[in-house]
Structure 1
Amino acid sequence: MAGPVSSIAYVPLHEVLPAGFARAEGRLRELATRLERHHSADRVAWRWYPEHVEPDGTRRVLVGTTITLYDTRDDWLELSLQIAWQPDGRLGVESTVEVACWCADNHNMHPVRESARDADDDFELADEFAAGVKLLTTVLNEGPFEPQPWRVAAGLPVRPR
């Protein structure tokens, strides 16, 4: 793993994208930069995994970002966007809104909104990445920016007071 860095500009996409997807690099950078420049996305962290360039039958992240919108020592709200190998050997893009778990059996976090889409070529990869950026940008535009309303909307246990 490498990173974290605050901008996709520092991520060597040519090292992590499989050869058949390399032509998507320019569009991925453009979309990621648009996300980074959003006025509510001031805590962005990109990580990449050059050791995962080949699929191995498990879920393996190639590159991803986390945007922290709310973080205390014991509660959080984060947005994430990842390009990852899926267990079936296909490349996919996943975007999620995640909150800390307050279940009796602590699961650590819960995705309260998510999208996962596979990509068969570089054009689909860029399009699916654009859909992921759109999901996160919608949250950045509309909020809420605290985890509790997301838990309530998802029917999850609320944080004890």
Structure 2
Amino acid sequence: MMRGAFDDVPLTTLFPFLTAEDAASLHRAAGTVDAARAGRTTAFWEWALERAAFPGTQAGTPIALGLDVIEHAEGGDQLEFLLQVVWTDPGQLAVDTAANVACWCKTDHATHDVDALRLVIGEETSLSDAFRAGAERLTGWLADPHDADRWRAKAGLPPRRMS
């Protein structure tokens, strides 16, 4: 994966079908995310040029472009917010967004998605529309209070154990 500012992402190489208008839309959406992150922990956009074409079915989710924002929450806990353009098993692109919290279950699951959305790119949803919707979702999460236990309660998960 390559890392850097969104302006460094070679969008038309990564997504050859993008029009100039679509690329500009992705830049505007990424700009809103970057503005919402201003003054926070540094997070870089990541991309993989080898995933410009469907890499075939494989273990895990092949990420073409993404951002992973880790926010420190009250009490030393943390939240993780994701915005990713991924390949689905049938070979379609999708925009995934997720808010994750650390797991405090009896069985350690590492993290849990407490809010997630996948928008598959197709005839009814363009990459620029899905990316804009994902960016809006991510900026909304970044504006919320960073109380991971509030997110856990919303998802019906056990609260953080105090040491």
TM-score (norm 1): 0.86
Partners of 1:106 and 1:8 lie apart in 2 by 34
Distance in 2 between residues matched to 1:85 and 1:39, nearest whole Å: 26
Q: Please name the residue that 1:26 is paired with.
A: 24
Match of 1:20, SS state, is: coil
| 1:2 aligns to 2:2 (yes or no) | yes
Aligned length: 156
Question: Structure 1: how far apart are the matches of 2:39 and 2:92?
Answer: 29
Provide closer, same or farther for how the CA distance between residues 22 and 101 of structure 1 changes in structure 2, counting only shifts above 3 A: farther
Question: Are residues 22 and 62 of structure 1, via their aligned partners in 2, closer, same or farther at CA, if it must alter by over 3 Å?
Answer: farther
Question: Does structure 1 residue 50 correspond to structure 2 residue 49?
Answer: yes
Deviation at 1:66? Answer: 1.3
TM-superposed CA distance for 1:57, in Å, is 2.5
Q: 1:22 and 1:85, CA in 2 relative to 1: closer, same or farther beyond 3 A? A: farther
Matches within 5 A, 1:104-143: 104-120=106-122, 124-141=126-143, 143=144
Whether the aligned pair in 1 keeps the contact of 2:65 and 2:86 (CA below 8 Å) is: yes
- Note the aligned Cα RMSD (angstroms): 2.3
Match of 2:44, SS state, is strand
Deviation at 1:21, TM superposition (A): 3.4
Q: CA deviation at 1:22?
A: 5.2
- Find the aligned partners of 1:160 and 1:136 in 2 and give their Cα distance: 27
Kindly indicate which of the two structures has a greater share of residues assigned to strand: 1
Q: Is the 8 A contact 1:60 1:85 kept in 2?
A: yes
Gapped runs of 5+ residues in structure 2? none
Q: Give the distance between the partners of 2:39 and 2:63, measured in 1 at CA.
A: 22
Distance (Å, rounded) in 1 between the aligned partners of 2:80 and 2:160: 16
Structure 1 gaps of 5+ residues are: none
Cα offset, 1:39, TM superposition: 5.6
* Equivalent position SS for 2:157: coil
Tell me the residue number matched to 1:157: 158
The runs of at least 4 aligned residues of structure 1 exceeding 6 Å deviation read none
Instruction: Report the equivalent of 1:14.
Output: 12
The 1:97–1:158 alpha-carbon spacing in structure 2 relative to 1, beyond 3 Å, is same
Tell me how far apart the structure 1 counterparts of residues 83 and 47 of structure 2 sit (CA, whole Å): 12
